[in-house]
Amino acid sequence: MRLDKYLKVSRIIKRRTVAKEVCENQRVLINGKVAKPGTVVKEGDIIEIQFATQVLKARIINIASHVTKEDAKNMYEIISGEEDKE
3-class secondary structure per residue, the chain:
CEHHHHHHHCCCCCCHHHHHHHHHCCCEEECCEECCCCCECCCCCEEEEECCCCEEEEEECCCCCCCCHHHHHHHEEEEECCCCCC
Task: Report the predicted TM-score, pTM, of the whole model to 2 decimal places.
Answer: 0.87
Domain of residue 60, CATH code? 3.10.290.10
Q: Please tell me the least confidently modeled range out of 35-39, 48-52, 58-62, 82-86.
A: 82-86
For 35-46, the pLDDT digits (tens) are 999 999 999 999
Domain for residue 20, yes or no? yes
How far is C-alpha 71 from the chain's CA centre? 15
Domain for residue 86, yes or no? no
Average pLDDT over residues 3-21: 94
* Model pLDDT, residue 82: 65
Domain for residue 43, yes or no? yes
Domain for residue 76, yes or no? yes
Q: What are phi and psi of 74, to 5 degrees?
A: -85, 0
* Model pLDDT, residue 86: 41
Domain ranges, residue 70: 3-80
Among residues 77, 68, 40, the alpha carbon closest in space to that of 23 is found at 40
Domain for residue 85, yes or no? no
Indicate the number of domains in the chain. Answer: 1
